[in-house]
Amino acid sequence: MAGKNLLIAAALVILSACSDNMFSPNGTPGDGNGSASTFPAPPLAPPVPVTGNPIDGASFWVNPVSDARLTADSWRATRPDDATQIDKIASHAQAQWFTGWSGDIRRDVDALVSAVTSAGAVPVLVAYNIPQRDCGKLSAGGATVYGYQAWISDFADGLAGRKSVVILEPDALANMDCLSAVDQTTRVNLLQYAVQVLRAQGGVVYLDGGNSSWRSASDQAGRLNRANVAAADGFAVNVSGFQYTSSTIAYGKSISARIGGKHFVIDTSRNGLGPSADNAWCNPSGRALGAAPTTSTDDSVVDAYLWIKSPGESDGACRGAPVAGAWWADYALGLAQRSAL
């Protein structure tokens, strides 16, 4: 056990040297506001057969130095009740985000995957660096086109054949109407390439499935088919969203029926009370933590409930919040206080 703890600590030291907020989107600017260059379609990868749940029974890693853990510990003596509430976040596994901040993405992914697998858990990572990310809005940024090809290849190399869940580019498909037809094709081609290189290195890959209040199931299914979802393990729904799990399952199943029965995962990090009355996406008030991460979903098409968005991290500079990805302790506290956990 001591050896495992030392390895985790060493990995976290390496990662923390790269960024003040090492696991979260930070809006690092790239060429996100301009037109992308073209990227040719890769050879079409063969389909991945739809069988059982590829992550069934997986245990997920709880970050011992998360913002939630550090906040709870700092409040323990002076704000014990609030610390107990923040413990609801700190005690559960959350996906680890990688964007453009890393100077050596292969090294940093390898360090995290090594730490998590040595602890007997399955890593859950988010790749979030697509060119023209978020159409230049609150989470703007991303790599250049060929910079992304190199970045995602190095990301995949960091997996080094070890089984890891990869949530690939949230919003990249649902939010591409702002792009020209040429740039949409480039994005789809890049996602096809990413799926191939990630799966070749042990990634269990879930493409962007949007959410039930955004695109129709038929529309989103068409976008997934363009990205060759057949070659992925499935898709991720409600990432950073607030839609109820019940409506999200119905939506995901409607998509699944249109794309060969592909499975999906659901982000339940902040959907405990569903969406706000105005269906706001940016730091809406009155929300709550949702179901804890697990692969026990009682549904054969839903591979897992995951906390893909880290509860308490801002959606962007709205409603008095800090920039996208920054820790907002007051918001986190509200999510926890209103939660059934």
Choose, from 31, 171, 183, 233, the residue flagged as catalytic.
171
Q: How far apart are CA 114 and CA 159, in angstroms?
A: 9
End-to-end CA distance of the chain: 29
CB 266 within 8 Å of CB 238: yes
267 has catalytic annotation: no
What three-state secondary structure class fits 339?
Answer: coil
Choose, from 87, 108, 134, 154, the residue flagged as catalytic.
134
157 has catalytic annotation: no
Q: Which DSSP symbol is given to 136?
A: G
Write out the DSSP string of 173-238.
TTT-TTS-HHHHHHHHHHHHHHHHHHHHTTEEEEEE---TTTS-HHHHHHHHHHTTGGGSSEEEES
Residue 218 burial by Cβ neighbours in a 10 Å radius (0-12, 13-18, 19+): exposed
31 has catalytic annotation: no
Helix (H) / strand (E) element for 115: namely helix 105-118
Q: How far apart are CA 265 and CA 302, in angstroms?
A: 6
* Catalytic machinery residues: 134, 171, 315
